[in-house]
Structure 1
Amino acid sequence: MLIPCLSFSQNEVKPNIIFVMADDLGYGDLGCYGQTNTKMPNLDRMASEGIKFTNHYSGSTVCMPSRASLLTGYHQGNASVRGNPVWTNSGKPVNLEPNEITVANELKGAGYKTAVIGKWGLSEGNTNQNMPSAHGFDYFLGYKKHSHAHHYYWDTLYRNNEPYILKDNNYGLKQGKYTHDVFINEALHYIEKEQDHPFFLYLALTIPHLELTVPEDSKEPYQNLDWPKRKMNTKGGYKNDAEGNTTYAGMISRMDRDMGRLFDKLKALGIDESTIVIFTSDNGPEYESKDLFFNSNGPFKGGKRDLYEGGIRIPFIARYPGKIEAGKESDHLSAFWDFLPTACELAGVTPSNKDINGISFVSELFGNQKKQQKHDFLYWEFNERQGPIQAIRKDDWKLVWKLEGDPELYNLSVDQAESNNLAIKNPEKLQDMLALLKDVRTEHSEFPLETRALAYKKRKKNKSNNTNIKKTF
């Protein structure tokens, strides 16, 4: 049974909350974070009119667990979802727990209309359990499974709990409606429909996740710039366009164009100043990282599927005219699991769950740094073929711990590229971080701290044993 939010200020105006999340967009992919190749005037203007965070982190370095942390307020040591499908002890996907409270539940209890448009990716498997409607969302249009979201011309989306067919779409031939456009148009329609009362819109875009493809009009500004060519695999599971660099830039520019459309809609409806818009990414880049054309991870090492900074430190911009001072930059240490308590405070309620790991950063948003509560540490784990890998950050120190391999200790204040392992030179600090790591997580039967290869062997052995048992009857 869901516990309703507890109100602490019913008289304050409740802002509309729009949370826009790109997919696999790197820290260095935006102009306001250093990108020079791609044109993105609307996101750059958003940063100039709001606040840009330089120390914000995703929930994980891959999609599904990152989104779970965002919605529930738990870091990966306590979350129910700690890995993408298949990478579990049993080989079966782990979704949100039935009736697990999300930020949508909290805001709905505070009188908000709630919607998710785009990529849900938390109802894996063959049932319709754990759909957005089971976790506080009044409305949903988008991809149910994250693997379907790898295709921009997929023919079957979901509207609420029912299939929504794009009858002319053929993902193999890349024909029909570009699903990103479908989501943007639906988001603009939703904003107009719900403009007269508080709403929470979680707009989970799929740009610029592989596959790399975009309509030609978005590539045109980059076609004759003498850029290096990057040939893409066009015959695999991802139906990529033939050349990668112009496609990648075109995808991000199309997303930027549509952020401009979103802001224009808010202004046209007269609700711009009563709406906070947040823009971020679910994890680091996959298309490329350092030393390639876009340098998508900026000054950091690694990318998607790494727990180095390039895999988890992400762009994060918030705009709220009249409430957030324009042109601000914050180095406040924060992460996805902070969004739930932040949204609750904006809505004038307190979170139902008292044991979440998130801390509201409303004070930081509104320039009250002295009142801003800070984290003792941030924690991540990664449960795939390379893992489990754990990472913990406390102040400027970062520990990356692998079950197989030497510990890695970095001082990010002088080494943000994580190039100088200080584990041997700083044994006392290493022991402090290891002691912290020891007590940071709860056990989870599907995500034990043992190698994924060992889990795979166990599944294979259990499958063999089950087959033998069946044969005896």
Structure 2
Amino acid sequence: MLLYGNTSTTQKTFADTTNTKEKPPNIILIMADDLGFGDVGFNENKEVLTPQMDYMAKKGITFTNFYAAAPLCSPTRASVLTGRDPFRQGIFAAHTEGMRPAEKTIPELLKVEGYSTGFFGKWHLGWLEPDKVESRGKYSPPWHHGYDETFATKSAVPTWDPTKTPKGWTSWGSQEDGSWGGSIYIRNGEPVTDNLEGDDSRIIMDRAIPFIENSINKQQSFFATIWFHTPHEPVVAGPEYLAKYPNLPLGKQHYYGSITAMDDQIGRLKDFLKAQDVLENTIIFFCSDNGPADPQVRKGNASAKPFKGHKHQMWEGGLRVPSFVYWPGKITDGKISHYQSSTNDYLPTILDILGVTLNKKHVLDGVSLKPIIFSDQNLERLIPIASGYKRLYNGTELYAFVKGRYKICIPEKGDKMMLFDLKNDPGETNNLAAEKTELLNSMIAELEELKISWKQSREGKDYKW
């Protein structure tokens, strides 16, 4: 019988691989929203301007086989903070459940180690105001999960002027009076009304940098989570960024312009850390929460190239996302890693680097990427990567299971289980289900066993010890 869930999170302490007098590293988790694999320069897009991310990816480690835990937002976000598959936590789709209080999160664990913790941007793991909770979701704000400082929205806002309905936008969140009805910014439990004009990525960074500066002044290691709204719809770029793409269609100007604006803010953060003399001792992780949004792909603005599919699908384009790790004090020679990795790996990686251990009964679905960061070894992942997506109201129930070169998946609603050889067919054009039935059935059996483990966890098994 296969045992799912990695229960060993560390092998060496931080002091084992570094100077014992060195201060524990600062840690920043950056995530874009609906950014496709092919929407950044470091993944061979020659049109979009992302010089800051391109530089950091080149000097750090670029992950080409990095998977979001789900092809949509909330489940992946839960995975990032816990190292656990979303189905294990009961988070099946977008904003349907809040994160459970019993889940162990990165900020909770790092606070015990003396870190200051801050969250900035799109939360999407529960409502932020107890009196505003609707039928879809629960009150579960960042400050219930280990964050000292919070500047957050519960869900998406426009990427320019986030308090206003963009011109021409008539879908969810739009208001007749021109205000934005989808979400508002909350700081530590209170609504925010000032400094909310212009580029949303800049608005977020305006709050993240003071938190970091305050931590530096207190000589305290910090953990900052910066989850941008860009380029989630409604995607709008300001005049300065539209002007950078004069020869593109207007929709693509807005899409690329918002990404470039986000890139500028990531560069601003890097420059600030350097000016404060803490860049060398800061780890920056970057990824997207899922593939590009369906409408933006159909309009030709967004790209998951070279992969098939988009957000809400189990094709590689819905799951495989841009990712890098930048740590100039430890990663001195940039490299590209083809190691299969996922958002589940952030928690075990961070704990492994710091030498922090969890209760052995605490089930994880991720593995530490520390050996990849500190070594050039050609390692193979021992734990499969699994994804699930379930929308109760329309009957959607999709799965993907990646084990080595092979992947089984139900890519879209109505499909049967398919089998692909990702090594020879990364574009998923040749379904091998009929040809390799023994392998297909074996992988389905493993997935079914994992689904039992997920069910046991979310029904309380993991929370009784």
TM interval, short-chain normalised: 0.7 to 0.9
Q: Say which of 390, 406, 425 aligns to 2:416.
A: 406
Q: Say which of 377, 382, 402 aligns to 2:389.
A: 382
In the TM superposition, 1:234-249 aligns within 5 A as 243-249=250-256
Do the aligned residues in 1 keep the contact of 2:294 with 2:310 (CA within 8 Å)?
A: no
- Give 3-state SS (helix, strand or coil) of 1:115's partner: strand
| Cα pair distance change 1:120/1:107, threshold 3 Å | same
| Cα pair distance change 1:428/1:410, threshold 3 Å | same
| Cα pair distance change 1:331/1:288, threshold 3 Å | farther
| Cα pair distance change 1:444/1:262, threshold 3 Å | same
Do the aligned residues in 1 keep the contact of 2:38 with 2:304 (CA within 8 Å)?
A: yes
Structure 1: how far apart are the matches of 2:258 and 2:384? 35
Q: Cα offset for 1:194?
A: 1.1
Q: Cα offset for 1:313?
A: 0.3
Q: Percent identity?
A: 31
The equivalent of 2:273 in structure 1 is: 266
The answer to whether the aligner puts 1:367 opposite 2:380 as a matched pair is no
Q: Say which of 95, 100, 125 aligns to 2:98.
A: 95
Do the aligned residues in 2 keep the contact of 1:35 with 1:294 (CA within 8 Å)?
A: no
Q: Say which of 22, 34, 50 aligns to 2:44.
A: 34
Q: 1:213-266 CA distances to partner (integer Å, 9 max, x unpaired)?
A: 12111111112x2x3x3xxxxxxxxxxxxx311111110111111111111101
| Cα pair distance change 1:212/1:147, threshold 3 Å | closer
Q: Say which of 187, 204, 211 aligns to 1:159.
A: 187
Structure 1: how far apart are the matches of 2:347 and 2:62? 19
Q: 1:92-123 CA distances to partner (integer Å, 9 max, x unpaired)?
A: x3111124211111111111111110111112
Q: Cα offset for 1:146?
A: 1.2
Q: Say which of 232, 237, 243 aligns to 1:214.
A: 237
The equivalent of 2:211 in structure 1 is: 190
In the TM superposition, 1:18-33 aligns within 5 A as 18-33=28-43
The answer to whether the aligner puts 1:76 opposite 2:86 as a matched pair is yes
The equivalent of 1:120 in structure 2 is: 123
Return the letter of the residue paired with 2:110: L
Q: 1:407-466 CA distances to partner (integer Å, 9 max, x unpaired)?
A: 211000010011111100111111111111111124659x99xxxxxxxxxxxxxxxxxx
Return the letter of the residue paired with 1:278: F
Do the aligned residues in 2 keep the contact of 1:71 with 1:103 (CA within 8 Å)?
A: yes
The equivalent of 1:430 in structure 2 is: 440
Q: Cα offset for 1:58?
A: 0.7
- Give 3-state SS (helix, strand or coil) of 2:62's partner: strand
The answer to whether the aligner puts 1:280 opposite 2:255 as a matched pair is no
The answer to whether the aligner puts 1:205 opposite 2:228 as a matched pair is yes
In the TM superposition, 1:454-473 aligns within 5 A as none
Structure 2: how far apart are the matches of 1:256 and 1:177? 15
How many residues were matched structurally?
A: 412
Q: Say which of 146, 152, 172 aligns to 2:155.
A: 146
| Cα pair distance change 1:411/1:373, threshold 3 Å | closer
The answer to whether the aligner puts 1:397 opposite 2:425 as a matched pair is no
Structure 2: how far apart are the matches of 1:148 and 1:295? 18
- Give 3-state SS (helix, strand or coil) of 2:258's partner: helix
Q: Cα offset for 1:179?
A: 3.0
Q: Say which of 162, 172, 179 aligns to 2:200.
A: 179
Do the aligned residues in 1 keep the contact of 2:241 with 2:258 (CA within 8 Å)?
A: yes
In the TM superposition, 1:58-69 aligns within 5 A as 58-69=68-79
| Cα pair distance change 1:259/1:287, threshold 3 Å | farther
Return the letter of the residue paired with 2:404: D
Structure 2: how far apart are the matches of 1:219 and 1:255? 13
Structure 2: how far apart are the matches of 1:280 and 1:319? 12
Larger radius of gyration: 1
| Cα pair distance change 1:67/1:357, threshold 3 Å | same
| Cα pair distance change 1:150/1:42, threshold 3 Å | closer
Q: 1:325-358 CA distances to partner (integer Å, 9 max, x unpaired)?
A: 4320001111111101111122231234631111
Do the aligned residues in 2 keep the contact of 1:110 with 1:347 (CA within 8 Å)?
A: no
Return the letter of the residue paired with 1:199: F
Q: Cα offset for 1:79?
A: 2.4
- Give 3-state SS (helix, strand or coil) of 1:369's partner: coil
Do the aligned residues in 2 keep the contact of 1:29 with 1:294 (CA within 8 Å)?
A: no
| Cα pair distance change 1:186/1:71, threshold 3 Å | same
Return the letter of the residue paired with 1:221: K
Q: So what's the TM-score if we normalise by structure 1?
A: 0.81
Q: Pairwise CA RMSD of aligned residues?
A: 2.6
The equivalent of 1:318 in structure 2 is: 325
- Give 3-state SS (helix, strand or coil) of 2:100's partner: coil
Unaligned runs of 5+ in 2: 1-8, 132-138, 164-179, 460-465
> Which stretch shifts more, 302-311 or 378-387?
378-387
Q: Cα offset for 1:180?
A: 2.3
Q: 1:339-389 CA distances to partner (integer Å, 9 max, x unpaired)?
A: 01111122231234631111110110112536x672331110111236201
The equivalent of 1:48 in structure 2 is: 58
The equivalent of 1:239 in structure 2 is: none
Q: Cα offset for 1:125?
A: 8.1
